[in-house]
């Protein structure tokens, strides 16, 4: 199999690539596990640290038609499209968000359609497609009401991927991801950046700012769990999606206070004292518009899974980081 990962320099794309290289197989066009023989990793900055002979690196912008032509080629069987301008950035730069989050996705879809081979495509969407007056626990059939341009762009892509799949142009799977925590690396422009930063930085001996109140409820998924669900979403039989290729994944519903309590029980008060509580209205406005809990009945019935508790999520983060 030849697979493409767009957004492979991001931590999730990177982790997905490493995991797939380790596992070595995916469900292929035959409907059975097939060997991954070629893996194209594309991002605007070249993904680094891959010495595997199956891997080829393409450094380029997926809004550039030449790059899309170079990656979506007849030999590919599957695409993981994880590239995006994050929420906070897309809110500040509307045109850049439209270009990368929407136009580039459409270009990938059109090129994949032109292949005529109906490649599988896993597309990551977000809880940011929801907003407004929401029930405490969001049901699967909740109406879209994004309160950010990032959410609107993701929702538009959901509709496109679903329609291209319904028409048989591609075999798409849209996974609405919870906020990923604990994300390794450095802070980014996502409004949700703090949801990793308030854990990661204190563990590393650094201070971190929490821009939202401690009773803010978040819908979370660990990096390990996210990679597992991305692979599961790729492999699950298309018929299981029935009327819609869009599925809200299960997650862990916790308040910021519960996250900090979990950190304290793992790492002590010395670590949690490195968190400074300075509210930021721009971040709060976006984050508070996102739902903090979902039913995710459909995803669970399809076999997607969630983390069990946040203490385990923190322990896995510490384990993964010391291994890295």
8 Å CB contact between 44 and 82: no
Of the CA atoms within 13 Å of residue 177, those in its CB half-sphere come to 23
List the one residue from 23, 45, 159, 186 that touches a copy of itself (CB under 8 A).
Answer: 159
Residue 166 sits in the site that holds a copy of itself (CB under 8 A): yes
Alpha-carbon distance 84 to 62, whole Å? Answer: 10
Choice between 18 and 94, CB closer to a copy of itself: 94
For residue 150, indicate whether it is catalytic: yes
Alpha-carbon distance 27 to 178, whole Å? Answer: 24
Mark the segment that binds a copy of itself (CB under 8 A) among 27-35, 134-142, 273-281, 306-314: 134-142
Residue 143 sits in the site that holds a copy of itself (CB under 8 A): yes
Mark the segment that binds a copy of itself (CB under 8 A) among 39-47, 63-71, 154-162, 203-211: 154-162
Sequence-distant (6+) residues with CB within 8 A of 86 are 150, 188, 189, 190, 191, 193
Nearest to 16 by CA among 42, 73, 204, 59: 42
Alpha-carbon distance 113 to 123, whole Å? Answer: 15
Residue 142 sits in the site that holds a copy of itself (CB under 8 A): yes
| Interface mask toward a copy of itself for 235-254; x: CB under 8 A | -------xxx----------
CB of 24 to a copy of itself, least distance (A): 36
List the one residue from 31, 132, 185, 303 that touches a copy of itself (CB under 8 A).
Answer: 132
Residue 281 sits in the site that holds a copy of itself (CB under 8 A): no
Nearest to 250 by CA among 79, 127, 82: 127
| Interface mask toward a copy of itself for 77-116; x: CB under 8 A | -----------------x----------------------
Judged by DSSP in three states, 59 sits in strand
Residue 162 sits in the site that holds a copy of itself (CB under 8 A): yes
Please give the structure tokens belonging to residue 129. 């497609």
- Total residues interacting with a copy of itself, rule: CB under 8 A: 25
Mark the segment that binds a copy of itself (CB under 8 A) among 39-47, 140-148, 178-186, 307-315: 140-148
List the one residue from 59, 163, 270, 279 that touches a copy of itself (CB under 8 A).
Answer: 163
List the one residue from 156, 182, 266, 299 that touches a copy of itself (CB under 8 A).
Answer: 156
Query: Among all chains, which residue has been given the structure tokens 């069990």?
Result: 308
Tell me whether strands 55-59 and 38-43 are parallel, antiparallel or unpaired: parallel
Sequence-distant (6+) residues with CB within 8 A of 319 are none
Strand 252-255: give its sheet, edge to edge: 179-180, 217-221, 252-255
Q: List residues near a copy of itself by CB under 8 A.
A: 94, 131-133, 140-147, 149, 152, 155-156, 159-160, 162-163, 166-167, 242-244
Catalytically active residues, by annotation: 150
């Amino acid at each position: 199999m030849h697979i493409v990962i767009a957004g492979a320099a991001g931590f999730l794309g990177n982790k997905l690539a490493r995991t797939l290289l380790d596992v070595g197989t995916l469900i292929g066009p035959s409907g059975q596990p097939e060997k991954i023989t070629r893996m194209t990793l594309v991002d605007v900055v070249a993904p680094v640290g891959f010495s595997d002979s199956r891997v080829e690196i393409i450094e380029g912008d997926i809004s550039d038609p030449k790059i899309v032509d170079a990656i979506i080629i007849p030999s590919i069987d599957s695409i993981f499209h994880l590239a995006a301008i994050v929420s906070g950035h897309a809110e500040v730069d509307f045109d850049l968000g439209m270009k990368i989050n929407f136009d580039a996705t459409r270009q990938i879809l059109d090129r994949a359609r032109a292949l005529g081979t109906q490649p599988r495509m896993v597309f990551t969407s977000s809880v940011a497609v929801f907003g407004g007056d929401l029930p405490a626990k969001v049901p699967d059939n909740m109406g879209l009401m994004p309160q950010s341009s990032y959410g609107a762009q993701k929702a538009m892509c959901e509709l496109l991927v679903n329609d291209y799949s319904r028409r048989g142009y591609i075999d798409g799977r849209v996974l609405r991801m919870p906020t990923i925590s604990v994300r390794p690396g450095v802070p980014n422009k996502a409004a949700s950046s703090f949801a990793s930063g308030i854990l990661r930085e204190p563990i590393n001996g650094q201070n971190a700012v929490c821009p939202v109140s401690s009773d803010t409820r978040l819908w979370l998924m660990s990096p390990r769990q996210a990679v597992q669900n991305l692979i599961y979403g790729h492999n699950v039989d298309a018929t299981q999606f029935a009327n819609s290729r869009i599925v809200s994944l299960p997650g862990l519903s916790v308040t910021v206070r519960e996250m900090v309590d979990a950190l304290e029980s793992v790492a002590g008060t010395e670590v949690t004292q490195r968190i400074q509580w300075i509210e930021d209205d721009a971040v709060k406005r976006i984050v508070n518009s996102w739902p903090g809990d979902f039913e995710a009945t459909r995803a669970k019935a399809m076999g997607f899974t969630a983390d069990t508790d946040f203490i385990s999520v923190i322990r896995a983060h510490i384990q993964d980081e010391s291994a890295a």
